[in-house]
Amino acid sequence: MDYIKFTKANCKNCYKCLRSCPVKAIQFKNEQAKIINDRCILCSRCVLICPQNARKVNTHINKLKNALKNNKKIIVSLAPSFAGNFNFSYKKLIGALKTLGISYVEETALGADITSRLYEKFINNNKMPYYISTACPSSNMLIEKYYPELIKYMLPILSPMACHCKTLKEVYGKDAFVIFIGPCSAKKTEYELHNKDNILDAVITYEECIKLLDDFNINIESSPDIDFDCNSFNSGPHYPIPGGICNNIKDSLKFNNIKPIAVDGVYDCIDVFENIKKGYMKNSFIEVSICKGSCIGGPDMIQNKHIYYNKLEKVENYIKNRTLISNEKLNKKEKDLSIKNFSKNFIDKSLEDIIFSEKEMEDTLKSMGKYSEEDELNCGVCGYNTCREKAKAILKGMAEPTMCLHYMRNKAESISNIIFENTASCVILLDKNLNILEINPAVETAFCVEKNAIKNKHISILMDETDFEYVKNTNKNLLGKKVHCNNYNLVFIENIIYIPKQNIFMASMINITELEKNKQNMKELKKTSFTAAQEVIEKQMRVAQEIASLLGETTAETKITLSNLKKFVNTDDEN
């Protein structure tokens, strides 16, 4: 079951979730984050640290609403960390729950008392080098999935929640609808396990509890003051405080000469498990809690508005001032404890580690732009500590090459540089004062300058600044204007754009100098051609006139000759 999911619409590929995940249980595929359940320990760090709030947590709210609708007898087991997570009296919260339709509200701390007594029995009857507490479901999953060799040291006892809910079912009847309210989403994995055994019907977090009351328009502050129907007589409420379990069984630990060690926070838990693997710290009872500050911190400690020590103080004050209320049936059940009735088996859930060849690793590193050891920056931006860890994740299908920020930046810069360096247009970048930041080779060629010689100098060193001043003062872009740089005999189609985000100006200028020269040459050619044609025509006209004149003279002479010939012929006829 997907206990926690990321919503597709909101994931922005910042990899903050992966960087916060201690076991790298998050897969990125097609630029979308997905939690892989087989690897996840449900510490909730990823979803709570997500800046886009791209989370969707599996909820049992509808189960509870259906139970209310069907008028079921509903029993609440309220985790002892509640006192630190609310800014109002716990009696107001119980009053609000009763107003909602809850039949009974009791402290989970009673289950913690049961767990403590069972721990003591096990320790007194079983000699081991290490005893690891099993009240935290996330630490249990961390061992089962990543330190299976330590399972033999886990105390095979149900968690306080499960112990209490099992007892509530026996006291109030198997048909009672039993829910647990606490700070931890990981408890929902216990629901999946214990619902089949009819121990537990629903798990909701404090956050979901407040939302549920809001849905029913129940104002907690105006609710009546009602106390627990039953709470713990012993030290169960100390469980959410770091060292609380050790404190509860301190007499048995002292009697058996066992050293108590309490660790909270996932990385401290990992550290202590690594020490146990190496055989250090023998003859110890290890109290482990994945959340920093134990259950008082809870998984919402990362973004919770209440600072930890304020929450700790509120829990301690509650423990000190609370009223003790007894339930005879529950008290009798606590005295009649059997490890067999509250036992739990832990199993190896580890994934087989895949060994990849050096060739596969090298090919994958190259796909990330890592061609040598110098390219392996091991910056951790992608969420993996080293580039080689990232390469392994890619081979396992957990990551993508594009997750490397440096690789993508270099790739983008490479493409940008290719375009910038090879474009035929002249490109000039200017700062807010119109000083030259960058020019491309086309500018160097056109203006016969070197980049370093004019960098950080005013644009007027190259060309008239009037158009640039206009764009600067009006914030209006200038597009498609023909300009002449007479000092350099250059002509451009000028585009000047203001980029507000970077507060810079970009001039992109198409060099049309040769085109303009060609136009001028064509104009001169046309003029010359016209003049030559005119001269030819005039000459032809003169020739024509001369020919005409000559033709006129010869025609007159011919006419005279013919006239004389005619006279001569006529004279012969008369004779």
pTM (2 d.p.): 0.72
Phi and psi at residue 25, to the nearest 5°: -95, 15
Topology adopted by domain 423-511: Beta-Lactamase (3.30.450)
233 and 326 Cβ atoms separated by less than 8 Å:
yes
Alpha helices, DSSP H, located in 336-386: 358-367
Q: What does the pLDDT profile of the chain (575 residues) look like in tens digits?
A: 666 777 776 777 788 888 989 999 999 888 788 889 899 998 888 877 887 776 667 788 999 999 999 999 999 999 988 888 787 888 999 999 999 999 999 999 888 888 999 999 999 999 999 999 999 999 999 999 999 999 999 999 999 999 999 999 988 999 999 999 998 888 888 887 777 778 899 999 888 899 999 999 999 999 999 988 876 666 667 888 899 999 999 999 999 999 999 999 999 999 999 999 999 999 999 999 999 888 888 765 445 555 788 888 888 888 887 766 555 555 555 555 666 788 899 999 999 888 999 999 999 998 888 888 888 888 888 889 899 999 999 999 999 888 887 777 676 666 667 777 788 899 999 999 999 999 999 999 999 999 889 999 999 999 999 999 999 999 899 999 999 998 898 999 999 999 887 889 999 999 998 888 887 676 676 676 667 666 666 777 777 677 666 666 666 666 666 666 666 666 655 55
Q: Give the pLDDT score at 2.
A: 67
Whole-number Å distance between alpha carbons of 188 and 173: 22
Whole-number Å distance between alpha carbons of 473 and 476: 8
Those residues with Cβ within 8 angstroms of residue 161's Cβ, 6 or more apart along the chain or in another chain: 77, 79, 108, 111, 180, 182, 187, 190, 200
Positive or negative CA dihedral for 195, 201, 205, 211?
Answer: positive
Residue 168 tokens read as 């509530």
Whole-number Å distance between alpha carbons of 274 and 501: 49
Give Dmax over CA atoms of the chain in angstroms: 185
| Residue 458: how many other CB atoms lie within 10 Å | 14
Alpha helices, DSSP H, located in 35-186: 45-49, 61-69, 82-85, 90-100, 109-125, 137-146, 160-172
Q: Give the pLDDT score at 264.
A: 93
Q: Give the pLDDT score at 123.
A: 96
Residue 396 tokens read as 């396992």
Exposed e or buried b per residue across 180-199, where buried means at least 16 C-beta atoms within 10 angstroms of its C-beta = bbbbbbbbbbbbeebeeeeb
Q: Give the pLDDT score at 302.
A: 46
Whole-number Å distance between alpha carbons of 199 and 342: 11
Q: Give the pLDDT score at 270.
A: 96
Could you give the 3-state DSSP secondary structure of residue 455? coil
Could you give the 3-state DSSP secondary structure of residue 5? strand
Predicted confidence (pLDDT) per residue in 415-468, tens digit? 667 777 788 899 999 999 999 999 999 999 999 999 889 999 999 999 999 999
Residue 131 tokens read as 């005893």
Between CA 299 and CA 320, with CA 108 as vertex, the angle to 5 degrees is 90
Q: Is 356 exposed, middle or buried (0-12, 13-18, 19+ CB in 10 A)?
A: middle
Tell me what percent of the chain is helix, strand and coil, each rounded to the nearest 5: 50, 15, 35
Could you give the 3-state DSSP secondary structure of residue 351? coil
Q: Give the pLDDT score at 448.
A: 92
Measured CA distances, 163 to 296, 343, 430, 513 (Å): 20, 9, 71, 88
Alpha helices, DSSP H, located in 126-249: 137-146, 160-172, 187-194, 206-215, 244-248
Radius of gyration of the chain from its Cα atoms, rounded to whole angstroms:
45
Those residues with Cβ within 8 angstroms of residue 297's Cβ, 6 or more apart along the chain or in another chain: 264, 291, 308, 311
Q: Give the pLDDT score at 564.
A: 67
